Structure 1
Amino acid sequence: MSITSFELEVSYGQIAVICRGLTQPFNDWTERHVAQGFAWRPGSVSFRTLEEFGAHTIEVLVPNRADPIDGTVARAIEVPFEIPENGAVDIASIADAASLRLPAGPCLLRCEMTAKDDNTKPHVRFVFARMNAGRFGVVRADDGISAGDRYLTAAEPAGS
């Protein structure tokens, strides 16, 4: 169930999901964050993208439960996420942003990335699974990140 899809211009190899109104929305990345592919703090999570720059196709789904990951997905990361009471969430890069209204409450946020090919842009699917327990994990790793069993689950706001 796709609630929306759009194009987003990615810059600096990151895309973030942010509760709208957060004073310092983006996260500072440490070497460990880069290695695991995400930087998380309550209300803001940044994911390292497969491509450093350029237009990406973004898809957003809000199912009750997360489906198994498609075989074409190169990278998949899961984190807990709390959609604010007003449902206002932004999907953003440093250069671009899209505003959404989602059902409020806790969920499992899965970021699935598929590499571009000759005919397509890189594709990022955000799955906000309502009935799955939130957890941290690299579910599928490509050569650009390291899967592990211990994750750094605290980031500082960028510019602080």
Structure 2
Amino acid sequence: MGFSIKPMTLCADLFDPTENDSVEGLRPNAHGPSLVTFGPDRVLEFCKNNDLQLIIRAHECVMDGFERFAHGHLITLFSATNYCGTANNAGVILVLGRDLIVIPKLRHPLPPLGSLAGSPERLVEDTWMQDLNAQRPPTPTRGCPPPSIDHGSLSWI
């Protein structure tokens, strides 16, 4: 038994699901003028018309890293934890198993460095990535490198 994945791109910035499965149809979106929210009825109709079982969407921060909508036919996922340093949200990746079984793998945000409690070993464990990044050279900007970069270096290529 096989399945196929149909990648589709919609103008995701214009559409969001309604606040819950009981709000149907199209409605104005609180995120701005000319934006709309869609109800579960629209998701089910779209799936039926396009022979789809599941829609996976992203680019909307959800607190648990993922949310199911339209009786599980639409999943919103968000992989960044603690979005913009203020949301304290979990992040997720989805693993698709056999027969389209969706398994979320959650990543919870780390506490801020100033609030870490416990032993010095815990502090070292939680700051290793920051130490590694401090040792890396800066990422060159797109286009021509700054004049200080050696033309024989890999940054110039």
Relative to the length of structure 1, the TM-score reads: 0.22
Larger Rg: 2
Q: Which has the higher strand share?
A: 1
Does 1 or 2 have the higher relative contact order (CA < 8 Å, sep 6+)?
1
Relative to the length of structure 2, the TM-score reads: 0.22
